[in-house]
Amino acid sequence: MKKFMNGAGTLAQDCLDGLVAAHGDIVVFGADRKHVRRRTLRAGKVAIISGGGAGHEPMHTGFVGLGMLDAACTGYVFTSPTPDQIVSAIHETDTGSGTLLIVKNYDGDVMNFEMAAEMAMADGARRIETVIVSDDIAVERSTRGTGRRGVAGTLVVEKIVGAAAEAGISLAELKTLGDTVVGTTRTMGVALRGTTVPQTTRETFVLGPDEMEIGVGIHGEPGRARAQLGEASSIVTLICDQILNDFGGLSGQSILLFVNGLGGTPLSELYLVFGLARTFLEAHGVTISRSLVGTYVTSLDMAGVSITVTVLDDRLMELWDAPVQTASLRW
């Protein structure tokens, strides 16, 4: 598999150089280039910080800006950012009201963000709270192990919490809001081709010509089952049925329906999936009040799609609709 890169070891930093060069009106590098932050910080606003390994672009750096993140920290491909990167972002963006960390539920991310919070507090940082995103229903709920992964629903949490922070909501209220959005968000993904990792240029898993992987994550890992490839309608029915079952039904509820490409799926196919998902959910009594379709939370070049459902009340809908201006999401 051929890729545009100077070298696997510099790929993440080379991509960040291009991002900052292209969107310098919105973002800048932080101290020592350890993170990307908003060009203009607002005094007295709670800082919202997220991050993770490279390979999920445009998440997270593409969501730094008005109405979303104040900073994002990027590690090597599929590797968590280091604690010192996160500490640097905390100190540089905290303008007086504390910091909220939005962290995907992966061992490395959780450990490094937790360590960074402790280091920053010891070094004089103000209050720090953390929201752990765990929207991936492909991982069974369990009291043992890490539990459900944070995947495309992370975007929804960052958008809604970011809008609330922009409105001047306190750190404690933002923490509660973030946990609420996580609790009302479910995601499941399916892949038709594995991820090609830059270091090896080999696929992380190989499927036969008539196979699909059900329940994939965003680090190139296989899903929970391999099945015969079916028509798009049957695939969408499978995902949406799993999501509805996990909620225990959503009849009469208003939702955000978010169809996300995992990196190698054409937009035409994403819209096809959205149309099928909308038809299925409406037939089950669900109202699609808001929608988002596009490639936002990726696993490098994985050919796949995820479907995310977030239940919306009036307040969450208002926060979703609030203005946002980032490199990759704006209205």
What DSSP string runs through 110-141?
Answer: HHHHHHHHHHHHHTT---EEEEEE--BTTSPP
The CATH code of the domain at 8-184 is: 3.40.50.10440
Within the chain, all domains assigned CATH 3.40.50.10440 are found at: 8-184
Lowest-confidence pick of 121-130, 140-149, 266-275, 305-314: 140-149
Q: Judge whether 298 and 62 are in contact, CB under 8 Å.
A: no
Within the chain, all domains assigned CATH 3.30.1180.20 are found at: 185-320
Q: Is 219 marked active-site? A: yes
The CATH code of the domain at 185-320 is: 3.30.1180.20
The pLDDT tens digits for 59-112 are: 999 999 999 999 999 999 999 999 999 999 999 999 999 999 999 999 999 999
- Please tell me the pTM assigned to this model: 0.96
The SS3 call for residue 222 is coil
Structure tokens at 179: 């946990």
Is residue 327 scored above 80 in pLDDT?
yes
Q: Please identify which of the residues 23, 35, 60, 219 carries the catalytic annotation.
A: 219
Confidence band for 143, pLDDT divided at 50, 70 and 90 = very low
Is residue 145 scored above 70 in pLDDT?
no
Is residue 144 scored above 90 in pLDDT?
no
What integer pLDDT is reported at residue 141 of this predicted model? 59
Residues 6 or more apart whose Cβ sits within 8 Å of residue 6: 14
Is residue 142 scored above 50 in pLDDT?
no
Beta-bridge mates of residue 254:
287
Q: Is 23 marked active-site? A: no
- As a whole number of angstroms, the distance between CA 321 and CA 231 comes to 34
Q: Please identify which of the residues 56, 60, 91, 284 carries the catalytic annotation.
A: 56
Q: Judge whether 38 and 71 are in contact, CB under 8 Å.
A: yes
What integer pLDDT is reported at residue 3 of this predicted model? 84
Is residue 140 scored above 80 in pLDDT?
no
144 or 223: which carries more pLDDT confidence?
223
The pLDDT tens digits for 229-276 are: 999 999 999 999 999 999 999 999 999 999 999 999 999 999 999 999
